[in-house]
Amino acid sequence: MRRKIIAGNWKMNLTLQEAESLADALIKDDFTGNGTEMIVAPPYIYLQWLASKRKTLPNLQVAAQNCSEHNAGAYTGEVSAVMLASLGVNYCITGHSERRSIFGETGTMLAAKVNRLLENKLGPIFCCGETLPQRESKRHKETVKDQLQDGLFHLDALSLEKCILAYEPVWAIGTGVTASPQQAQEMHEFIRSVLSEKYTKEVAGRIPILYGGSVTASNAADLFSCPDVDGALVGGASLKADEFKKILQAMNSKNHA
Ligand code: PEP
């Protein structure tokens, strides 16, 4: 059975006090169950504090939203995978479309980040996805395949299996427009076929592929009904405990392949 995962990306939101009430609400009831894993990605400065909450909620896993492509040195403002590992962080989002488009992250930089994470025993949550013009010009599959090739396909199968993939169509991130379950399934199936070609069908069958892009409590169950959707990377809705809890519950209800 493939892993079922719901990951929340808080992005650059919440004061410490707001983060505390959200974390308290997440910890109060254990939302995980029936095998669903919960990952939360707060801003860097809350990582150590959030990781300490695992004493109360061992099912909570913590992710960074970014890391440097270097392990140490004169890189003012950067945070390395070595540092994240020393805080007990489990995962790191890599290749989020905001990092690609606003901060100019390229496939080469992402491949280096993936390497630093794996060397430090952190799991990359590797994001891929097309823009609206790319979809409208029917280049969505080619775009996603190129992103996988540039950022991930230098890995051997063993290393690839330490990664979580997230298909996040850029036109659906933070827009309130969600991919239809048919669009999501088509792309997840495509990604699995590309993984299968490069590695093996067995390896491709074990990699969790999350959907991301305006997932809410009201559309989660439909998206999770797709056989190749193994969970979600959630932005806006992860800032509301009730909403996030309902998304986790929708994943719990799925009897996965
Ligand atoms: C994201 O930032 O990865 C994301 C999917 O955001 P949202 O759920 O707000 O669209």
Q: Is the separation of the CB atoms in 164 and 132 below 8 Å?
A: no
Q: Is the separation of the CB atoms in 105 and 96 below 8 Å?
A: no
d(CA 76, CA 65): 17
pLDDT in tens, the chain (257 residues): 899 999 999 999 999 999 999 998 888 776 666 789 999 999 999 999 999 988 877 778 999 999 999 999 999 999 999 999 999 999 999 999 999 999 999 999 999 999 999 999 999 999 999 999 999 999 999 999 999 999 999 999 999 999 999 999 999 999 999 999 999 999 999 999 999 999 999 999 999 999 999 999 999 999 999 999 999 999 999 999 999 999 999 999 887 76
Structure tokens at 169: 């169509």
* 168 in catalytic set: yes
Per annotation, catalytic residue among 96, 105, 130, 140: 96
**How many degrees, rounded to 5, is the angle at CA 64 between CA 58 and CA 68?**
145
174 CA → ligand 1 middle, Å:
5
Local structure of 215: helix, strand or coil: coil
The answer to whether the CB of 214 is under 6 A from ligand 1 is yes
Structure tokens at 207: 């990699």
Structure tokens at 64: 């960074």
Q: What is the value of pTM for the model shown?
A: 0.96
* 154 in catalytic set: no
- Nearest ligand 1 atom, CA 172: 10
